[in-house]
Amino acid sequence: MKILLLANQPERTTRLRMFRGTLQSQGHEVIVPSFGTRNWISIARQAKRMTLDHKPDVVHIFNVPDVIYHGFAGLRGRGYKRLIYDYRSPWGVEFAQTFLAPGKAFAERFERELAEAADVITTVNEPLEKKVKEYAPQKKVHIVPNYPQRSFCQKVDEIDGGEYAVQPGKGPIIFIGRVCTQEGIGKLLELARAIPEREFWIVGGGPFARYYLWRKPANVRNLGWQPHEKVAALLGKASLCLIPREENALTPYSTDKSVWKLNEYLALGKIVVASGVTMIEKRKNLVIVPSRDLERAVRDNLLREPEPMDREDYRFWDLNDRVIKEVYESL
């Protein structure tokens, strides 16, 4: 099959890149366009033009913002044969956090349009499956969790000593991701002040990172964004990995199957303390608590050893190979 994968920022959409690798390994011709802009109107126009130019057998849309794909149903036959809608995030719920009920109604209109137009729907977890079925109850929905590649654990840079040296039994508490309110930077700094005897390492950044971190405590180190192969080595130094999100309307949809970094932490056998995340499957070394209990949970888990991992405890992307094959064979 000739397959066109579409996302707002395809080069930065991890889930799209993972699908691309699997589909190519299964013998498909995969096209991933680059738009060179963040302007929604321009992306929408380019996406439609590329669909008409390439005439793929399948267009696989990775949602958010869904408005970009308004009118895509009208290209069926002229531009593509089959449509897959990947409902990776509830854009309506997300939009409502800023624009309240009118924003939710606006965004969910386009979610519904795509769900109804799709031949098949893919998503990340059970809460999102239930949500998207509100728009298209008769459609088949396939769950494809966000698990890391095995190579994430196999290709590890060596960073012993130097600026990354740690004392025995005093490994840092590590946070990886965007430095912003939504990812819990305020809660992280609060924890750092409450636990001054431990170092907190931040691996990440964002447009307002300097603003959030300009008065950070002395025990917080900002390492900035790092190459993916180096991230595993940094995590190897950690005593504990942290996801300090505050609870909000997105929490029911953010689960252990959907949070990339949570699954990367667990794949390396690390203890993970998280808030603002919903547990779907009980996992070794994963501790999920309300954000108000983060300090207690961090202190309780800092000194304990991770549970040994058995083969069946690991979750990697290749577990999705069979499901992805079924999705495309169903077309």
Identify which of 41, 44, 42, 39 has the alpha carbon closest to the alpha carbon of residue 6: 44
**Confidence band of 169 (pLDDT split at 50, 70, 90):** confident
**Confidence band of 160 (pLDDT split at 50, 70, 90):** low
Distances (CA, A) of 287 to 48, 241, 300, 307: 44, 10, 10, 12
Tokens of 325: 């094959």
Average pLDDT, the chain: 94
**Is the model's pLDDT at 188 over the cut of 70?**
yes
DSSP annotation string for 24-91: HHTT-EEE----S---HHHHHHHHHHHHHHH--SEEEEE-SSGGGGTTGGGGBTTTBSEEEEEE-S-H
Q: What is the pLDDT of residues 51-107, one digit of tens each?
A: 999 999 999 999 999 999 999 999 999 999 999 999 999 999 999 998 999 999 999
Q: Are 258 and 287 in contact (CB under 8 A)?
A: no
> What pLDDT, on a 0 to 100 scale, did the predictor assign at position 261?
95
Q: Are 267 and 314 in contact (CB under 8 A)?
A: yes
In this structure, of 21-25, 33-37, 191-195, 269-273, the range with the lowest mean pLDDT score is 33-37
Read off the DSSP letter of residue 205.
Answer: E
**Is the model's pLDDT at 170 over the cut of 90?**
no
In this structure, of 43-52, 96-105, 195-204, 227-236, the range with the lowest mean pLDDT score is 227-236
Q: Are 116 and 136 in contact (CB under 8 A)?
A: yes
- List domains and CATH numbers for the chain: 2-146+318-329 (3.40.50.2000), 151-313 (3.40.50.2000)
**Is the model's pLDDT at 156 over the cut of 70?**
no
| Stretch 130-136: mean pLDDT | 98
pTM given for the model: 0.93
> What pLDDT, on a 0 to 100 scale, did the predictor assign at position 158?
65
**Is the model's pLDDT at 259 over the cut of 90?**
yes
**Confidence band of 155 (pLDDT split at 50, 70, 90):** low
Q: What is the pLDDT of residues 93-131, one digit of tens each?
A: 999 998 999 999 999 999 999 999 999 999 999 999 999
Percent of the chain past pLDDT 90, that is, above it, reads 89
Percent of the chain past pLDDT 70, that is, above it, reads 98
Q: Other C-beta atoms within 10 Å of 107: how many?
A: 23
